[in-house]
């Protein structure tokens, strides 16, 4: 499924920052993806299951959560953080700032239902 | 046990200065008035702390004394051809000033986190200016509040209660005296408490603002919807804006990070400028880190520019897109880095992070971070506004003195002292060599 | 540290010294008797003119609005660039230079004391942080108080005592030096997007007029025994016909003033000396204002001379900046400060061939040449509003040389030239008079006793220039004079040589003056009660976080005063 990716600040992400980047709360709050109910049904994925979000630069595995803030169909929302940033393009279009919002991505159900979202140190050591 | 009142919170650009903090034996035990972020920050400031300097040897970080860490950091920076010094938004104005002196001394590039948040705001401001004011003006006068691409109920938790719809001001006593409009791509928590919610399609803010400007001039919009918004709603919003007594537009990364970036802000500034022909209207960017505005302000009086500065020619060169940290790192131009109170490894695109890790890396931070895990030198620092004092600048430019109320871990110094140490050592190395 | 400056031709108007060859002895930062020196370094100043270090009474060099000017104008920073040299920071900027550049450049011209004349109290911590980073010069800042809610409310009640005690508290809290009024009352009106006309238009909701504000603050200033009079940027600044408002302003405190004692300082008077009914027939009101000042002793003024430059205008006068933005179409920053004041910034280019700009240029010089007593006048451009301070030497030569004026006059807009009376004025300032308007007069108006003169006990701030009035014809040789004034041969600050041949030598720092007025305890208690009751309703910060401590200033220099009659 094609979608528009928006990343942003969430309370859980912000609190997680203060609890430490290696804390469980950060991991639980940031390695997630908010989706619209209609999109979840179309994709055949339930809350808590894993999806893979891919851009031209790579892909990230994230856990689906129900959107409290009513993401419209066709848009997915992911908190700022190292999981999603790995698929962001570095181009800044002469501004110094990469595009962190409104990016076209491909979303699919993570094929291997057994796979785990890497913890932050694994994420980095995988390069 | 001692209770401090009127403490300024070092979390976000709101700089709420009414926090009450109780300290027992140098540790914070109780916090009043703070938001969830504030509480978490104060009560967990000793969690995941780095308490001793570290130096990487044979791929392992080992504990060293502070002078050894400072010496190593100074050596890395003075050996480098083009180091990049990044962060600066969660430290004091005094430390930021020293950072700029350091960048001049080593002929490197210095950038603050503005380049990945409100950089587009400053770029647009340089083209058009910006009609703004302090937050107290909004509290006292504003009868129309707009949050555009900003979700304060997730990001700046007390913004609404202290400065906008929940605040009691001279001419606006209660919620009923103000109208709240939210423009966002999602029905956010903030949108739910708004009187008007305008749902804009992603990346189409520019079109919506342009349509609003047309509606102000009573020009015909020959479409049923613009950016997903019915034209009647646009016209109603334009009418609301023109007929208020004092309007305030707060905007966030929803506008600066979306397609168009600085062009979106250009459009927003033009809109607010237009509105001043009919009424009083201001705009204030919602700044994130507690002293990111301070970083811009201090950079400006030292160099003339707010961020993304290159000193490789012996004077400041400002060219966002070329001299900004993400760009320098993505192109692999730098050969060393100093990161202070920031975690680019967690927040930058992958290619930039890979290049950051390729070269010698110094991190100054109170916490263990994703970046510090891979650093060659790690120097622990005290929290500004908790364990040491310093000036910070609120999102609207109001400067506030941050106080030191608790004790830092033994032997841990403020950023200011650490940077002074590095600067002195670099000057010694230069004269010696 | 001892220093003996020998053979200089000295101009020290405060002590009546007019071009005499006398030695200047310096010890521990002060001027002393020659006999006090034991082991002095001798500086042979043969062929050089010596004057007290320059004193700038009005230049926007630091603080929130200057810094927003820097932000607004990246293009300005490319006009003057110098790589860093050992001991110095890089030179950047022209009309809104960095703080370091500001300090070096003043020193390079022989100036050693500069006043930042408008700081919003709430943001004055920022102003002091910049002043702390402004090298070499001594400095101070003036809080803007005319639209301050506490002031408006005390004055509305006719409570001069309360207002005085409040302002003593404010000056101490923000470490300010003098009271500044900017288009009295109009920034409060601008909070609603409105302006005021003249001095009898009431401030919305506060029901008080600029006239009442001016008279009230004039009384407060006297009660507090502040070293300097109130500094006022008059209402209707920039509007054709506004010289009448300026006259009204001067007259409105006539009855309150003591004879022979200046009690009202009009800032950048050129911008408030316009006759005519619109831009098309703009003409000079300089002679009317000069006439009034020549026959009254309670008013002093600084010039606000315009230069033909692309510059950056900035003032707390928010409504005027909006007008200028609409007139010019140029970019515009506005910044209103809660319960206090406001401000705006607009880049603006004064063009020789533009009728209005040429008239403005002429008005400033006409006024400077028509005011008979130079002790009533200070040379300024309202930096950077009329042009950058680094161009002062051009104005100095226009005052010294009618030839320099003729050359400039020949290049301006024809219609303006025909209308200007400048060509018919043949007065030329002497170096003695120049030393008055650039040193002695501003120091006296500021009440800075150690500044602006070279008498025993004065601060050892001395500037030496490659000028020899006995050999050079100052009128004919104006280009050489200009160059000599631009690059002081030596600038001595507090007894140390800080610049040679127009180049600053090092990054040292001067003092920051502020006034600490003692008021009776009962008045202080009353103000505290008022502050506790109202402050948090008016402001978005806590009262306890508002004051700036003395240790936040790099080298604070308080002036302790007993406010009498409160």
pLDDT tens digits, residue range C100-123?
999 999 999 999 999 999 999 999
Is the Cα dihedral C206, C208, C214, C216 positive or negative? negative
Cβ of B399 within 8 Å of Cβ of C126? The answer is: yes
Is C336 within 8 Å of C65 (Cβ atoms)? no
Give the residues across from B379 on adjacent strands. B364
Q: How do the pLDDT tens digits run along chain A, 127 residues long?
A: 999 999 998 998 889 888 888 999 999 999 999 999 999 999 999 999 999 999 988 899 999 998 778 899 999 999 999 999 888 888 888 888 888 888 999 999 987 766 678 888 787 765 4
Q: Which residue has the higher pLDDT, A90 or C39?
A: C39
Q: How big is the CA angle at C163 (ends C266 and C265), to the nearest 5 degrees?
A: 10
Identify the closest residue of chain B to C127 by CA–CA distance.
Answer: B399
Q: At what angle do helices C521-538 and C149-156 cross, to 10 degrees?
A: 120
Inform me whether the C-beta atom of residue C174 falls under 8 Å from chain B C-beta atoms.
Answer: no
Inform me whether the C-beta atom of residue A16 falls under 8 Å from chain B C-beta atoms.
Answer: no
Residue C157 pLDDT > 60, yes or no? Answer: yes
Give the closest-approach CA distance of A32 to chain B in angstroms.
Answer: 15
- Residue identified by tokens 């400095």 is C139
- Residue identified by tokens 């480098």 is B80
Inform me whether the C-beta atom of residue A23 falls under 8 Å from chain B C-beta atoms.
Answer: yes
Cβ of C542 within 8 Å of Cβ of B6? The answer is: yes
Mean pLDDT by 10 residues, chain B (433 residues): 97 97 95 96 93 95 98 98 98 98 97 92 95 98 98 96 97 97 96 97 96 96 96 97 98 91 95 97 97 98 98 96 96 97 92 95 96 96 97 98 95 98 96 71
Inform me whether the C-beta atom of residue B277 falls under 8 Å from chain A C-beta atoms.
Answer: no
Q: Residue A114 has what pLDDT?
A: 61
List, in order, residues 6 or more apart from C186 with CB less than 8 Å away: C147, C195, C196, C203, C210, C235, C317, C318, C319
| Structure-block tokens of residue C216 | 């009230």
Q: SS in 3 state form for chain B? A: CEEEEEECCCCECCCCCCEEEEEECCEEEEEECCCHHHHHHHHCCCCCECCCCEEEECCEEEECCHHHHHHHHHHHHHHCCCEEEEECCCCCHHHHHHHHHHHHHHCCEEEEHHHHCCHHHHHHHHHHEEEEECHHHHHHHCCEEEEECCCHHHHCCCHHHHHCCCCCCCCCCCHHHCEEEEEECCCCHHHHCCCEEEECCCCCHHHHHHHHHHHHCCCCCCCCEECCEEHHHHHHHHHHHHHCCEEEEEECHHHHCCCCCHHHHHHHHHHHHHHCCCCEEEEEECCCECCHHHHHHHHHHHHCCCCCEECCCCCCEECCCCCCHHHHHHCCCCCEEEEECCCHHHHCCHHHHHHHHHCCEEEEECECCCCHHHCCEEEEECCECCCECEEEECCCCCEEEECCCCCCCCCCECHHHHHHHHHHHHHHHHHHC
Q: What residues of chain C lie within 8 A of the CB of B405, using their CB?
A: none
Separation CA B22–CA B3 (nearest Å): 4
Inform me whether the C-beta atom of residue B124 falls under 8 Å from chain A C-beta atoms.
Answer: no
Is C402 within 8 Å of C428 (Cβ atoms)? yes
Cβ of A21 within 8 Å of Cβ of B288? The answer is: no
Residue C552 pLDDT > 60, yes or no? Answer: yes
DSSP class per residue in C444-487: HHHT-TTSS--STTSB--EEEES--TTTS-TTTTHHHHHHHHHS
Cβ of A11 within 8 Å of Cβ of B154? The answer is: yes
DSSP β-ladder status, C111-119 and C138-143: parallel
Mutate to test the interface with C, among B126, B129, B322 (most CBs of C within 10 A): B129
Q: Residue C86 has what pLDDT?
A: 86
Inter-chain contacts counted by CB atoms under 8 A, chains A and B:
167
Cβ of C67 within 8 Å of Cβ of B137? The answer is: no
Give the closest-approach CA distance of C148 to chain B in angstroms.
Answer: 13
Q: Which chains touch C (3 or more CB pairs under 8 A)?
A: B
- How far from B424 is each of B53, B54, B313, B378, C458, CA to CA, in Å? 18, 20, 22, 18, 36
Q: What residues of chain A lie within 8 A of the CB of B202, using their CB?
A: 4, 6, 75, 101-102
Q: What residues of chain B lie within 8 A of the CB of C81, using their CB?
A: 315
DSSP β-ladder status, B109-112 and C462-465: unpaired
DSSP β-ladder status, B229-230 and A58-66: unpaired
Separation CA C484–CA C502 (nearest Å): 9
> How far is C-alpha C418 from the geometric centre of its chain's CA atoms?
31
Identify the closest residue of chain C to B173 by CA–CA distance.
Answer: C537
Identify the closest residue of chain B to A35 by CA–CA distance.
Answer: B186
- Strand order across the beta sheet in which C556-562 lies: C54-56, C111-119, C138-143, C512-518, C556-562
Separation CA A62–CA B86 (nearest Å): 29
- Residue identified by tokens 């006999």 is C35
The DSSP H or E segment spanning A40 is helix A37-43
Separation CA B151–CA B145 (nearest Å): 13
Inform me whether the C-beta atom of residue C325 falls under 8 Å from chain B C-beta atoms.
Answer: yes
Return the SS3 of C69.
helix
Q: What residues of chain B lie within 8 A of the CB of C76, using their CB?
A: 304
User: Mean per-residue pLDDT for C274-283?
Assistant: 96
Return the SS3 of C223.
helix
Cβ of A21 within 8 Å of Cβ of B115? The answer is: no
**Residue C16 DSSP class:** T
Mutate to test the interface with C, among B97, B124, B164, B304 (most CBs of C within 10 A): B304
Q: What residues of chain B lie within 8 A of the CB of A92, using their CB?
A: 320-321, 324, 326-327
Is C4 within 8 Å of C43 (Cβ atoms)? yes
Identify the closest residue of chain B to C346 by CA–CA distance.
Answer: B129
Give the closest-approach CA distance of C342 to chain B in angstroms.
Answer: 8
Tens digit of pLDDT for each residue in B302-350? Answer: 999 999 999 999 999 999 999 999 999 999 999 999 999 999 999 899 8
* Helix locations, C487-546, DSSP H: 521-538
For residues C458-469, b (16+ Cβ closer than 10 Å) or e, as one string? bbbbbbbbbbeb
Cβ of B36 within 8 Å of Cβ of A15? The answer is: yes
Inform me whether the C-beta atom of residue C538 falls under 8 Å from chain B C-beta atoms.
Answer: yes
Cβ of B154 within 8 Å of Cβ of A127? The answer is: no
For a pLDDT cut of 70, what percent of chain C falls above it?
100
Give the closest-approach CA distance of B350 to chain C in angstroms.
Answer: 31
Residues 66..105 of C with a Cβ closer than 8 Å to B: which?
A: 67-68, 70-74, 76-77, 81-84, 89-93, 96-100
Q: What residues of chain B lie within 8 A of the CB of C97, using their CB?
A: 304
Residue C229 pLDDT > 70, yes or no? Answer: yes
Closest CA to B108 of B296, B308, B301: B308
Is B133 within 8 Å of C337 (Cβ atoms)? yes
Cβ of A93 within 8 Å of Cβ of B261? The answer is: yes
Give the closest-approach CA distance of C503 to chain B in angstroms.
Answer: 17
Q: Residue C274 has what pLDDT?
A: 98
Residue C468 pLDDT > 80, yes or no? Answer: yes
- How far from B397 is each of B132, B285, B302, C384, C548, CA to CA, in Å? 10, 11, 17, 22, 16
| Structure-block tokens of residue B234 | 């646009």
Mutate to test the interface with B, among A18, A35, A60, A66 (most CBs of B within 10 A): A18
Inter-chain contacts counted by CB atoms under 8 A, chains B and C:
172
Q: Which chains touch A (3 or more CB pairs under 8 A)?
A: B
Closest CA to C306 of C166, C407, C412: C412
Q: Residue B173 has what pLDDT?
A: 96
Give the closest-approach CA distance of A87 to chain B in angstroms.
Answer: 7
Q: Residue B433 has what pLDDT?
A: 53
Q: Residue A126 has what pLDDT?
A: 59
Inform me whether the C-beta atom of residue C38 falls under 8 Å from chain B C-beta atoms.
Answer: no
Give φ, ψ of C501 to 5 degrees. 50, 45
| Structure-block tokens of residue B372 | 């510090």
> How far is C-alpha A53 from the geometric centre of its chain's CA atoms?
7
For residues C289-315, b (16+ Cβ closer than 10 Å) or e, as one string? bbebbeebbbbbbbbbbbbbbbbbbbb
Cβ of A85 within 8 Å of Cβ of B343? The answer is: no
Sort C261 into a burial class: Cβ within 10 Å, 0-12 / 13-18 / 19+: exposed
Residue C194 pLDDT > 60, yes or no? Answer: yes
Inform me whether the C-beta atom of residue A90 falls under 8 Å from chain B C-beta atoms.
Answer: yes
Q: What residues of chain B lie within 8 A of the CB of C332, using their CB?
A: 128-129, 131, 273
Q: Band of the pLDDT at C261, cuts 50, 70, 90?
A: confident
Give the closest-approach CA distance of B223 to chain C in angstroms.
Answer: 31
- The answer, yes or no, to whether B and C have at least 3 beta-carbon pairs within 8 Å is yes
Separation CA A57–CA B350 (nearest Å): 9
Q: Band of the pLDDT at C84, cuts 50, 70, 90?
A: confident
Which residue of A81, A94, A124 is in closest CB contact with B321? A94
Q: Residue C53 has what pLDDT?
A: 98
Mutate to test the interface with B, among A4, A24, A96, A104 (most CBs of B within 10 A): A96
């Amino acid at each position: 499924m094609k979608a528009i990716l928006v990343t942003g600040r969430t309370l859980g992400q912000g609190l997680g920052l203060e609890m430490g980047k290696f804390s469980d709360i950060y991991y639980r709050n940031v390695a997630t993806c908010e989706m619209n109910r209609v999109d979840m049904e179309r994709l055949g994925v339930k809350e808590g299951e894993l999806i893979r979000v891919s851009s031209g630069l790579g892909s990230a595995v994230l856990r689906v959560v129900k959107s409290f803030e009513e993401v419209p169909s066709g848009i997915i929302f992911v908190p700022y953080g190292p999981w999603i940033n790995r698929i962001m393009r570095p181009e800044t279009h002469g501004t110094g700032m990469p595009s962190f919002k409104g990016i076209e991505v491909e979303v699919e159900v993570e094929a291997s239902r057994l796979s785990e979202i890497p913890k932050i140190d694994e994420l980095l050591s995988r390069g | 046990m001692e209770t401090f009142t009127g403490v300024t919170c070092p979390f976000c650009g709101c700089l709420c200065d009414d926090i009450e903090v109780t300290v027992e034996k140098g540790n914070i035990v109780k916090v009043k008035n703070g938001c969830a972020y504030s509480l978490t920050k104060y009560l967990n400031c000793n969690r995941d702390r780095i308490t001793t300097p570290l130096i990487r040897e044979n791929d392992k970080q080992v504990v060293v004394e502070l002078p050894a860490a400072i010496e190593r950091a100074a050596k890395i920076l003075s050996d480098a051809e083009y180091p990049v010094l990044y962060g600066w938004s969660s430290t004091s104005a005094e430390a930021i000033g020293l950072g700029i002196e350091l960048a001049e001394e080593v002929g490197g590039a210095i950038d603050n986190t503005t380049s990945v948040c409100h950089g587009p705001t400053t770029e647009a401001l340089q083209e058009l200016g910006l009609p703004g004011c302090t937050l107290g003006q909004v509290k006292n006068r504003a009868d129309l509040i707009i949050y555009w691409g900003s979700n304060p109920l997730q990001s700046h938790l007390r913004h609404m209660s202290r400065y906008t719809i929940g605040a009691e001001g001279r001419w606006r006593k209660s919620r009923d005296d103000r109208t709240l409009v939210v423009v966002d791509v999602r029905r956010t928590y903030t949108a739910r408490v708004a009187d008007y919610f305008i749902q804009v399609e992603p990346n189409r803010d520019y079109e919506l603002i342009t349509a609003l400007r047309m509606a102000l001039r009573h020009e015909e919009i020959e479409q049923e919807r613009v950016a997903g918004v019915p034209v009647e709603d646009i016209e109603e919003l334009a009418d609301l804006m023109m007929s208020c007594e004092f309007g305030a537009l707060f905007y966030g990364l929803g506008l600066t990070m979306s397609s168009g970036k600085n062009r979106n802000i250009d459009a927003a500034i033009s809109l607010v400028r237009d509105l001043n022909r009919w009424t009083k209207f201001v705009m204030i960017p919602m700044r994130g880190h507690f002293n990111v505005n301070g970083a811009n302000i201090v950079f400006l009086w030292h160099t003339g520019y707010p961020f993304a500065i290159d000193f490789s020619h012996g004077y400041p060169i400002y060219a966002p897109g070329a001299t900004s940290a993400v760009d320098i790192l993505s192109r692999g131009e730098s050969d060393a880095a100093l990161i202070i109170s920031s975690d680019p490894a967690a927040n930058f695109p992958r290619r930039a992070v890979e290049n950051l890790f390729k070269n010698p890396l110094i991190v100054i931070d109170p916490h263990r971070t994703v970046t510090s895990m891979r650093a060659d030198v790690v120097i622990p620092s005290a929290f500004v506004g908790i364990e040491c004092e310093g000036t910070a600048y609120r999102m609207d430019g109001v400067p506030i003195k941050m106080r030191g109320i608790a004790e830092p871990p033994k032997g841990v110094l403020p950023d200011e002292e650490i940077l002074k140490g590095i600067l002195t050592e670099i000057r010694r190395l230069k004269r010696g060599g | 540290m001892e220093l003996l400056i020998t053979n200089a031709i000295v101009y020290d108007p405060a002590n009546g010294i007019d071009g005499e060859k006398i030695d200047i002895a310096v010890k521990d930062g002060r001027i002393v008797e020659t006999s006090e020196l034991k082991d002095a370094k001798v500086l042979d100043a043969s062929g050089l003119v010596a004057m007290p270090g320059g004193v700038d009474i009005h230049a926007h060099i630091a603080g929130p609005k200057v810094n927003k000017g820097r932000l607004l104008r990246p293009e300005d920073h490319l006009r003057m660039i110098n790589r860093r040299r050992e001991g110095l920071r890089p030179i950047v900027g022209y009309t809104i230079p960095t703080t370091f550049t500001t300090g070096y450049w003043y020193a390079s011209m022989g100036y050693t004391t500069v006043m930042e004349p408008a700081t919003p109290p709430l943001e004055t911590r920022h102003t002091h942080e910049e002043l702390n980073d402004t090298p070499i010069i001594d400095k101070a800042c003036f809080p803007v108080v005319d639209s301050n809610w506490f002031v408006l409310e005390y004055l509305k009640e006719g409570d001069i005592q309360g207002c005085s005690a409040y302002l003593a508290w404010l000056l101490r809290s923000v470490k300010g030096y003098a009271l500044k009024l900017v288009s009295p009352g109009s920034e409060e009106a601008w909070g609603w997007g409105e302006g005021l006309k003249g001095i009898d238009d009431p401030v919305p909701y506060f029901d008080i007029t600029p006239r009442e504000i001016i008279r009230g603050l004039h009384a407060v200033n006297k009660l507090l025994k502040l070293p300097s009079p109130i500094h006022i940027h008059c209402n209707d600044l920039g509007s054709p016909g506004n010289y009448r408002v300026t006259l009204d302003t001067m007259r409105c405190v006539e009855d309150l003033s003591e004879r022979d004692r200046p009690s009202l300082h009009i800032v950048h008077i050129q911008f408030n000396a316009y006759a005519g009914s619109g831009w098309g027939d703009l003409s000079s009101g300089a002679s009317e204002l000069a006439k009034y000042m020549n026959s009254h002793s309670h008013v002093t003024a600084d010039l606000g001379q315009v230069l033909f430059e692309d510059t950056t205008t900035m003032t707390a006068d928010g409504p005027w900046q909006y007008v200028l933005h609409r007139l010019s179409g140029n970019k515009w920053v506005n910044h209103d400060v809660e319960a206090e004041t406001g401000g705006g910034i607009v880049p603006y280019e004064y063009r020789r061939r533009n009728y209005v700009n040429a008239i403005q240029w002429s008005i400033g010089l006409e006024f400077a040449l028509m005011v008979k007593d130079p002790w009533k006048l200070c040379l300024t451009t309202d930096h950077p509003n009329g042009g950058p301070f680094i161009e002062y030497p051009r104005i100095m030569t226009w005052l010294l040389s009618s030839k320099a004026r003729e050359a400039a006059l020949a290049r301006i807009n024809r219609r303006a030239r025909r209308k200007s009376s400048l060509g018919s004025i043949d007065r030329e300032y002497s170096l003695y008079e120049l030393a008055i308007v650039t040193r002695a007069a501003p120091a006296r108006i500021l009440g800075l006793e150690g500044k602006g003169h070279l008498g025993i006990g004065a601060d050892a701030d001395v500037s030496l220039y490659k000028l020899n009035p006995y050999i050079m014809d100052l009128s004919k040789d104006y280009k050489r004079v200009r160059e000599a004034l631009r690059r002081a041969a030596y600038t001595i600050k507090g007894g140390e040589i800080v610049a040679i041949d127009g180049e600053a030598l090092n990054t040292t720092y001067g003092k920051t003056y502020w006034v600490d007025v003692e008021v009776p305890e009962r008045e202080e208690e009353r103000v505290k009660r008022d502050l506790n009751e109202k402050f948090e309703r008016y402001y978005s910060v806590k009262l306890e976080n508002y004051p700036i401590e003395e240790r936040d200033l790099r080298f604070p220099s308080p002036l302790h005063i007993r406010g009498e009659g409160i």
